[in-house]
Amino acid sequence: MDSPPAELETLVERYDSTVFDPARECARIRLQGCGRQSWDVVFEEGGPYLDPSDPDRRADASITADEGTWKTLANDLASGMAAYRTGRLAVRRDLHLGAGFLAATAAEQGPGRLRFHHVKTPGAEISVMEAGEGPPVLLLHGLGATKASFLPTVAALAKSHRAIAIDLPGFGDSDKPLLAAYDPAFFARSGVALLDALGIEQADVVGNSMGGRAALEMGLSAPQRVGRLVLLTASLAWLRARPWAAPLRLVAPQLGLIQPAPRPIVEALVRRLVPTQGSEWTAAGVDEFLRSYLSPRGRSAFYAAARNIYLESPWGENGFWTRLPQLEAQSLFVWGSRDAIVPIGFARHVHDALPGARHLVLDCGHVPQMERPEETHRAMLSFLAGRRVGRSAVPLAA
């Protein structure tokens, strides 16, 4: 039996448990591409250790890179997350676990380094990924996604901000309360509770899709806690007829506790949300979706949140479009010209409700921060710094 490669031993010896704790009794990460055989990092009581991989034993996550990249990581020349973002390293199955290990073995030190932890709030324990120091920015993911969809964004913001990406309750590695509402008000309260637990009085908030709707709800229900808002293809209340509304109200989302989850259908759905076929981001996005969806409570939360998106009232005393003009926070709406989930035709309705809001159209689908990261993050940083971004008028494409 070969001894573990020196590069992998170096990474495990450098592991910092204050940066990442798997928060489970036992976890196994398969490291592939370094030497003639694969090795597993096993997390048990007493800290991680290396164990020869057994093909009959399933790993919770896998990290794959060539020998040159592993040597680079061991020699402190770059962090594992930098290698991941540039495509020199792949993480599959459990992105939280794999990315957490990379963060905890990185050479970077100091209070602003990337770290993963859990925060207890009155309603749920919330899984957090954060990096950087400076003005806080809270990042809220979309339906079926996790905080991992903001990995590029955390890296982009960390140079000038404290970027805090969370798994909303019901998703990823956060608690999944069975009887929670999973509507915008619930997610907004969860965001405010997290700020309370972290001792943050006010934060800018960035939200994608369902997370964008939650960010808007934070701005509407707790305006004193929100600075600026960046809405990335935000989910907005439907204005067209909803033929399935009446029967859908009769279906309990808790049926997801027993309903089977056909993987091909789920993968097709995720690939619509992240239309970058063949990319590592798409593969990781499918993994993250399935990690929650294949659990009964995660599936129940997904169904509840999806149903609430469909059923949200557009008008009436508490209707979304009735309340939207009350929003005080300066806001930037980012639209995808090829977004099949939230068409940019909504922009003209947003302009009618919020004439002072800014608009930016990008050539992408539903997840701008992953599909057009440089343009998205450049605009985001400029807007958060108070510089003019986009247009205040309705985008021409709308």
**44: number of Cβ within 10 Å:** 13
| Short-list 165, 129, 8, CA closest to 80 | 8
| Short-list 297, 245, 293, CA closest to 265 | 293
Q: Which residues contact 307 (CB under 8 A, 6 or more apart)?
A: 248, 251, 253
CA 191, 308, 125, 82 dihedral sign is negative
Paired strand residues for 48: 43
Task: Judge whether 239 and 335 are in contact, CB under 8 Å.
Answer: no
Note the CATH number of domain 6-104: 3.30.1050.10
What is the tens place of the pLDDT at every residue in 336-363?
A: 999 989 999 999 999 999 999 999 999 9
**CA 257, CA 369: separation in Å to the nearest integer?**
32
Domain covering 115-384: architecture: 3-Layer(aba) Sandwich (3.40)
Q: Which amino acid is it at 322? A: T
**CA 101, CA 78: separation in Å to the nearest integer?**
14
Q: Enter the tokens of residue 196.
A: 């309370």
Q: What is the pLDDT along the chain (398 residues), one digit of tens a residue?
A: 578 999 999 999 999 988 998 878 899 999 999 988 999 999 987 779 999 999 999 999 999 999 999 998 888 656 777 888 778 899 999 999 999 999 999 877 777 889 999 999 999 999 999 999 999 999 999 998 999 899 989 999 999 999 999 999 999 999 999 989 999 999 999 999 999 999 999 999 999 999 999 999 999 999 999 999 999 999 999 887 665 555 555 556 655 555 655 566 666 666 665 555 446 666 777 788 888 888 889 988 988 898 888 889 999 999 999 999 999 999 999 999 999 899 999 999 999 999 999 999 999 999 999 889 999 999 999 999 999 888 887 765 54
- DSSP 8-state symbol, 181: -
Q: For helices 280-293 and 95-104, give the axis angle rounded to 10 degrees.
A: 120
**CA 26, CA 258: separation in Å to the nearest integer?**
26
Element spanning 63, H or E: strand 61-65
CA 290, 293, 295, 298 dihedral sign is positive
Place of tokens 């369902």: 210
The strand pair at 162-166 and 358-362 is best described as: unpaired
Q: Model-level pTM?
A: 0.91
**CA 277, CA 146: separation in Å to the nearest integer?**
19
Place of tokens 């997370």: 211
Q: Tell me the domain boundaries of the chain.
A: 6-104, 115-384
